[in-house]
Amino acid sequence: MVAAWRDGTDGVHMDRALAFARQGRGRTSPNPMVGAVVVSDTGSVVGSGFHARAGAAHAEVCALDAAGAAARGATLYCTLEPCAHQGRTGPCVARIAEAGIRRVVVAVGDPSPRVNGAGIAWLRQRGIQVDVGVRRAEAARLNEVFLTWAALGRPFVTLKIATSRDNRIAAGPGVRTQITGSAAAAAVHATRAEVDAVGVGSTTVLVDDPLLTARGARRRLPLTRVVFDRRLRTPPTAKMFGTLEAGPIVIMTTAAALGSQEPAADRLRAAGAALQPLETGAMAEVMQRLGASEITSLLLEGGTTVHRAAWSAGVVDRVQRYVAPVCLGARGVPWMDDGMSVAKLRDARVRRLGVDMLLEGHVQRLD
């Protein structure tokens, strides 16, 4: 028998659990952000917690530890399905049963092969009531990165681009062009501070020579820099090699290029790069390789060739287009022939960042 107070308050308690989960933002990869709240049979919150980092206690365990004996007969609200397997930590479902929890409310299931309903089934088989779906959409959006990686085996990909008002990305071929202002740059660095990796093509490295680091924003985990370079054109003198303390540099190339250009490959390795040989170099293969390396999120910053390849392969999940109030004219380098308008994006929104505008939204997502 479910107590009457639960009828209208499940959402309230799950909102509290979601708020706790957000405290792990930028800290938990490759794990999800998870929050949990323990509520007594009289409606009092007796414990709460969140997952702080990979290898640390899961949110459910933190909340149960905080609740202590008060967890017996209580309801546990959890933003993601509890695990039933041994990973970096023990299975949460066993700890839930031992604590005497009577009911578990789950926002969204975990599609990971080792979970995928097993946690819910384990609890129900032991007589614990499990209700699923309270604040499902909110929980899925919060963990869209993890859910994409867990279900598809590839990173959640954000395509980022800065264009002029007339859809140009540079004043001319091979011309380094600063398009947007300081407010937009700060927003980009804030995004870099949260993703696992930043990706660019070799042309971007040759033309812009970027550092590809998160500056002016606090980052808690190493940032992987990924260069898409089938021809091994990346120079070992690129500025990013002076920032290896910020995170690894991975060059995605082909086995054929490594075999035919051994001196160039050796110079890049000596500079600190890790070279990943691919069979075809196709974007789908690249993404699966990154996913297997526990890269759960990728900010794909350019250039146009890389963007087109990712778009054509159907691996873009979100678009961030920064638009500056300038026109570069017919000599400018166009971006994605048809451009990208908010009409083509789900949940699109427009924000002003100084003199620039940010158009962003989702292309595809798992709900």
Q: Residue 34: which pLDDT band, with cuts at 50, 70 and 90?
A: very high
pLDDT tens sequence across 114-146:
899 999 999 999 999 999 999 999 999 999 999
What fold characterizes domain 154-362? Answer: Dihydrofolate Reductase, subunit A (3.40.430)
Q: Note the pLDDT of residue 343.
A: 63
- What is the number of other CB atoms lying within 10 angstroms of the CB of residue 239? 14
Q: For residue 364, is pLDDT > 80?
A: no
Closest C-alpha to 111, from 61, 87, 158, 145: 145
Q: Note the pLDDT of residue 90.
A: 72
pLDDT tens sequence across 259-291:
999 999 999 999 999 999 998 889 999 999 999
- Residue 320 is inside which H or E element, if any? strand 318-323
Q: Do residues 132 and 266 make contact, with C-beta atoms less than 8 angstroms apart?
A: no
Closest C-alpha to 14, from 131, 144, 146: 131
End-to-end CA distance of the chain: 30
Look up the pTM and report it. 0.91
Q: Domain 4-142 is in which class?
A: alpha beta
Q: Note the pLDDT of residue 303.
A: 87
SS (H, E, C) 89-103: CCCHHHHHHHHCCCE
Domain with CATH 3.40.140.10 in the chain: 4-142
Distance of CA 347 to the CA centre of its chain: 17
Q: Which residues contact 64 (CB under 8 A, 6 or more apart)?
A: 36, 38, 47, 71, 76, 95, 96, 99, 101
The amino acid sitting at 286 is V
pLDDT tens sequence across 190-218:
999 999 999 999 999 999 999 999 998 88
Q: Residue 367: which pLDDT band, with cuts at 50, 70 and 90?
A: very low
More confident residue, 339 or 294: 294
Degrees (nearest 5) of the Cα angle 139, 15, 360? 50
Domain with CATH 3.40.430.10 in the chain: 154-362
Average pLDDT, the chain: 92
**Residues taking part in catalysis:** 60
Q: Residue 340: which pLDDT band, with cuts at 50, 70 and 90?
A: low
Q: Note the pLDDT of residue 341.
A: 63
